[in-house]
Amino acid sequence: MSTAPPLITPADRIFVAGHRGMAGSAICRALQRAGYGDPAQGGAILTALRAVLDLREGPAVQGWFAEHHPTVVVLAAAKVGGIHANATYPADFLLDNLKIQTAVIETAWRSGVRRLLFLGSSCIYPKFAEQPIREEALLSGPLEPTNEWYAIAKIAGLKLCAALRRQHGFDAISLMPTNLYGPGDNYHPENSHVLPALIRRFCEAADAGAPSVTCWGTGTPLREFLHVDDLGEA
């Protein structure tokens, strides 16, 4: 009885794009703990600082792939931010993420990368999707207006992976994490996501002895949170 080959091996050259971000750094930690990218077996965990490689620039990405020869790619790089940042910089969120995804995913396919994992976001689903959300809810209704720019870019990345799989057999899959928190999070007072924003507000209130904390919103939306190291292990 034949068995399927392993999805990744210690001999793979794994490029984690976005390795300094919260999700990317957790994925790197998990890969290292599990013994992947073992130099003794010819493997490596490949990373690139933005000062060295701007993932928005297609020719630069192509040159980097030609030099480093990754066999597996994890695309965790993105321009991210909370509600305020999305509302303030909608063009940046749409353009930057479209450029990153197109450059990395297309180059990975053309370079003969064996497997690619694209990290999306739960915000790709309609604002009023039935709970718990099912995959079939995608594109079945309007998006949350405050972050639709980011969501549209992520939907485009997901569909690009699906199109390359369908037309060319490229082994690209997409993972939609829920709201993440943990080491490496952004606690900016205006540009952070909901959980670090709440943590900052409560910590500052406790330090100041404030009698109450005022939070955005009505308090009625449901949110689901996942520690980033649990994502990395998955």
DSSP state of 144: P
Stated length of the chain? 234
Other C-beta atoms within 10 Å of 159: how many?
A: 13
Decide the pairing of beta strands 225-227 and 172-175. Answer: unpaired
Active site residue 36: no
Beta bridge partners of 45: 14
CA-to-CA separations, 55 to 89, 169, 188, 210, in angstroms, rounded? 19, 24, 24, 43
Which of 36, 150, 181, 187 is catalytic? The answer is: 150
Here the tokens at position 229 are 């190291």
Q: Which residues contact 122 (CB under 8 A, 6 or more apart)?
A: 133, 176, 177, 178, 179, 224
Q: Which residues of 49-71 are buried (b: 16+ CB within 10 A; e: fewer)?
A: eeeebebbeeebbeebbeeeebb
Catalytic residues: 150
